[in-house]
Amino acid sequence: MRYWAIVGIVLCFFKGTISFGQETNWNGFTDINYVIQDSSSFFLGQYDNFINTQITDNISFLSEITFEIEHGDDLEVDIERVILRYQVDNYLNFSVGRHHTPVGLWNTYYHHGVVLQPTITRPQIFNFTGILPIHVLGFYLNGDFIGKKKLGYDLMIGNGGISNSIIGDDFKGKSVTMGAHFYPVNRMKLRLSCHFDKIQEGEDNDNGLALEDIKQHIYTASLDYEASKFRLLAELVALTNKSKSSGKGHTLGLYIYSGFTVGKITPYVRWDEISYDANDPFFTLEDLSGFLGGVRYEFSYNTNVKLEFHHKDFNSMRKTNLLMIQWGVGF
């Protein structure tokens, strides 16, 4: 971890001299937040270092390393993405490394550069500590913008389990992710994807504990309509955990985002819903219904301020409200 931190810092400071003739692009993203709930507080978001370099005409390299202050002021350095890609032609790419799992749309559009994200927070179903596999280390085959309908496809085979391990796993099987998308009409993108994995007995995280081997199947359906002033983004996720002795548990999650832009100002709303099965063999989570309303002001393409009000209802038993302000920047 320290090694990568040093590499990241060195690349940041010497970005102008690392290319030696090859094409290298360096970007960074960060954000500063203020939250009002029971008490109010400022906090720093992630500091994201993003490097994209064209090594040869066909081979490119991408790395994304984030610095984040965790509880207790501990600095955490994460290798979010490290990808080596061979691009055969316009419609065929082979990649290896740690990728954003091509499940749904949000997870491939937005991650750590929150200035690109339409809201301050991610939808509940795509939360970093949520129920979906956000990253996968493995082999990735994809293509995009094929034909007039701009067809795209993804196939990913990677390490399995909920740990998203970057130092390897001892699983017999690997996770498999597949997806396809196209534009049925101009500006409207439809996407279907699925992810098959196995949670091994004894694995656990904040969402649950596997008392035995569990087969996990995830299906997503997504719609993105983006006109010059209006945006509608909606995604539905159906997840099944299945074990031999405890049976099946079905989870259904969705979000709908909509925003309307007037000049530099975009008022927006988002509705989140997740419903868990009480008999799920892995998840031990409460149903969640959430609503947020906010407004985004764009100073320019690479910096904006968002103000959001969040309301969350956990299983109709516990309710929370909070107000967030975020200033995000990309450079």
Q: Identify the residue among 33, 54, 240, 246 touching another protein (CB under 8 A).
A: 54
Beta strand pairing call for 23-36 and 47-54: antiparallel
Cα 130 off chain centre by: 10
Residue 255, token pair as written in the block: 């979000």
Q: Which stretch binds another protein (CB under 8 A): 47-55, 163-171, 206-214, 277-285?
A: 47-55
* Residue 27: CB minimum distance to another protein, A: 7
C-beta of 80 vs 280, nearer to another protein = 80
Q: Does 106 bind another protein (CB under 8 A)?
A: no
Q: Does 104 bind another protein (CB under 8 A)?
A: no
C-beta of 291 vs 297, nearer to another protein = 297
Q: Does 228 bind another protein (CB under 8 A)?
A: yes
Distance CA 154, CA 135 (A): 14
Distance CA 3, CA 12 (A): 14
Q: Which stretch binds another protein (CB under 8 A): 66-74, 79-87, 130-138, 198-206?
A: 79-87
C-beta of 163 vs 261, nearer to another protein = 261
Distance CA 192, CA 282 (A): 25
Distance CA 221, CA 252 (A): 12
Q: Does 38 bind another protein (CB under 8 A)?
A: no
Distance CA 321, CA 316 (A): 14
Residue 283 DSSP class: B
How many other C-beta atoms lie within 10 A of the C-beta of residue 17? Answer: 8
Helix segments in the chain, DSSP class H? 2-13, 106-109
Q: Does 25 bind another protein (CB under 8 A)?
A: yes
Q: Does 62 bind another protein (CB under 8 A)?
A: yes
Q: Does 89 bind another protein (CB under 8 A)?
A: yes
C-beta of 207 vs 303, nearer to another protein = 303
Q: How many helices (H) and strands (E) does the chain have?
A: 2, 19
* Residue 146: CB minimum distance to another protein, A: 10
The binding site for another protein (CB under 8 A) comprises: 23, 25, 27, 50, 52, 54, 57-58, 60, 62, 81, 83, 85, 87-90, 108-109, 111, 113, 115-116, 144-145, 150, 228, 298, 300-302, 330
